[in-house]
Amino acid sequence: MISALHNIGMTDGMITSSIITIVLSILAIVAGRHLRIVPSGLQNAVEMAVEGLLNFFSDIMGRKLARQYLPLVGTLFIYILCCNYSGLLPGAGEINGLSAPTNSINCTAAMAITVFIMTQVAGIKAARGPKYYLHLFKPVAFIAPLMAIEMLVRPLSLSLRLYGNVLGEETATHVFFQLIPIGVPVIMQALSILMGLIQALVFSLLTAIYLSEACETEELEAHE
Amino acid sequence: MTGLIAVAAALAIGIAAFGSALGQGNVASKALEGMARQPEAAGMLRTNMILALAFIESLSIYALVIAFLLAAKI
């Protein structure tokens, strides 16, 4: 079945990311099916995780924006975390159909472009019209090209950071495994656990900051 | 020519790692200093430290990507 998927052009990363998506969706559907005011069991656990994420992002974006954009940033965090950790499963990258999706630029670039478009939409929504782009001319007009380049380079750096970190870590583990097969790769894997969490955190954190920045520029102007 | 490409790949990631190691060391030492002086601000400092580290690290990640591109040419 997996070779049939390969034949239609699906890579290992795509298969793994589809499986992660399906598992997360089923988990969310099952947890949210019989909602009760006093939660128990699975609903309790999921609510705790979502509340933790909401509190974390509230510190960065403010309560209102965090509630508004939690579906995006929270999903990104959970999805990237699962993607990074799927590369740590036994046999990942060796057996067919299992490999960390984030070690390919396609996956991370897709997420970064989504974030870029969402940032523009959020900024335009907050500014009620395309005058959102006036913030490019904000301090002085002649730095507008620089601000535009900075804005356009963000999805590039966002995708390259995640992709480079995951691929670099995997390559380093692979090289160490070829040098000393016993012991040393375990240390690298332990580091990978930390790295996967930090990279998921950084990606969603940066998304949150970009979003709050896009919404903030206009609010400040309205106060003046 | 192949040897030169190998040297170029090694230099690209080596120099970049040198620079970002210096930068990350600075960030971590200052952040830890701040946390030690003001433990109640530790949470905020930690978040901002991770952000700053990510920004610095992304520079060496660019070099890593270039190194991979060069290594693929050998």
| Closest residue on chain B to A171 (Cα) | B68
- In sequence order, the 6+-apart residues with CB closer than 8 A to the CB of B23 are B56
**In angstroms, rounded to a whole number, what is the distance separating the alpha carbons of residues A153 and A159?**
10
Residue A221: the pLDDT is 52
Which residues of chain B are under the pLDDT cut of 70? none
pTM for this model (two decimals) = 0.86
**In angstroms, rounded to a whole number, what is the distance separating the alpha carbons of residues A178 and A196?**
22
- What is the number of alpha carbons within 13 Å of residue A125 lying toward its C-beta? 13
- In sequence order, the 6+-apart residues with CB closer than 8 A to the CB of A24 are A78, A79, A82
Closest CB to A161: pick one of B43, B44, B61.
B61
What residues of A are in contact with residue B61 (Cβ under 8 Å)? Answer: 160-161, 164-165, 168
What residues of B are in contact with residue A198 (Cβ under 8 Å)? Answer: 50, 54
Task: Give the model confidence (pLDDT) of B42-53 as tens digits.
Answer: 888 888 898 899
**In angstroms, rounded to a whole number, what is the distance separating the alpha carbons of residues A119 and A69?**
11
Contact B64 A168 (CB under 8 A): yes
Residue A114: the pLDDT is 94
| Angle of helix A105-127 versus helix A144-179 axis, rounded to 10 | 150
- Identify the burial level of B69 via C-beta atoms within 10 angstroms of its C-beta, where 0-12 means exposed, 13-18 middle and 19 or more buried: exposed
pLDDT tens for chain A, residues 1 to 224:
778 777 787 888 888 999 999 999 999 898 888 788 877 788 888 889 999 999 999 988 888 889 999 999 999 999 999 999 998 888 777 777 788 888 888 999 999 999 999 999 998 888 887 888 887 787 777 888 888 888 888 999 999 999 999 988 888 888 888 888 888 888 888 889 998 999 999 999 999 999 988 887 555 554 44
Contact A161 B47 (CB under 8 A): no
Residue A217: the pLDDT is 58
- Please, what are the domains in chain B? 2-71 (1.20.20.10)
Residue A224: the pLDDT is 44
* Amino acid (one-letter) located at B8: A
Distance of CA B53 to the CA centre of its chain: 7
Contact B51 A206 (CB under 8 A): yes
Local structure of residue A11 (DSSP, 8 states): -
Q: What does A63-118 look like in DSSP terms, one character per residue?
A: HHHHHHHHHHHHHHHHHHHHHHHHTTSTTTTTSTT---GGGSHHHHHHHHHHHHHH
What residues of B are in contact with residue A169 (Cβ under 8 Å)? Answer: none
**In angstroms, rounded to a whole number, what is the distance separating the alpha carbons of residues B19 and B25?**
10
Contact A107, A79 (CB under 8 A): no
